[in-house]
Amino acid sequence: MEFKDFKLIPPQPVPVTIRLTTPAMAEQLAAIVGDNDNLTGVRRSVAVRLDAAPGVAYVPEQLANPVRVELDANQTITVRFKIERGWEDGAPMIEIYIGDNFFQEQPLGAANAETVAKIGTPICWYNVGLSQHTTTGGFWDSGPLNQTEAYIWVPDRTGVLPYTCRFHGTQMISSLRITA
């Protein structure tokens, strides 16, 4: 998770929705918003919402979105959102759930079965289990993942790559078959 700051610069109508449509925008967005009634010195409460295209970025559910800020007419302020970055909108991604005692490709994979992917295709493991888990292979190690946390790895070589959970290695064993 990371923080992203967005500048609010008057004058534009409110309420405000910041729309992220590309990964570049998740990197560098200054939204122009503010108070459109030109009443100098009037303080106004503004709701600022971050709304991103699927796969670009999102504000985790447990955090505030929209964020309420107090804004004076002709004042520039910064609103800070805590975001999770996604992958490029429309890019293929393989999703594997990490559950308690299994890895499972989504949506229809079998538990602890081999997953097939092309080189360069991002693979995202999501911990949906109650316990802390890892995805650990010869070329990657997610480190400990708590419930709802994710790890993305982009394969840069072909072959059959076995992986396991460091905490539950005898029960959670799977493999990736990476093709050209």
- The pLDDT tens digits for 43-66 are 666 666 666 554 555 666 667 767
Q: Is the dihedral of CA 140, 125, 148, 88 positive or negative?
A: positive
Query: Does residue 2 register a pLDDT over 60?
Result: no
Query: What would the two tokens of residue 103 be?
Result: 């890895």
What percentage of the chain reaches a pLDDT higher than 70? Answer: 53
Give the predicted TM-score (pTM) of the model.
0.54
Return the H-helix or E-strand segment holding 98: strand 94-99
pLDDT (0 to 100) of residue 9: 47
pLDDT (0 to 100) of residue 174: 97
Report the side by side order of strands in the sheet with 57-58: 2-8, 77-85, 57-58
> Which of 68, 10, 15, 6 minimizes the C-alpha distance to 35?
10
Please answer whether residues 68 and 39 qualify as being in contact, where contact means their C-beta atoms are separated by less than 8 angstroms. Answer: no
Give residue-wise pLDDT tens across range 113-170: 999 999 988 898 999 999 999 999 999 999 999 998 889 898 999 999 999 999 998 9
Q: What domains are there in the chain, each with its CATH number?
A: 2-85 (no CATH), 94-179 (2.60.40.420)
Query: Does residue 36 register a pLDDT over 80?
Result: no
pLDDT (0 to 100) of residue 34: 34
Buried b (16+ CB within 10 A) or exposed e, 137-166: beebebeebeeebbbebebeeeeebebbbe
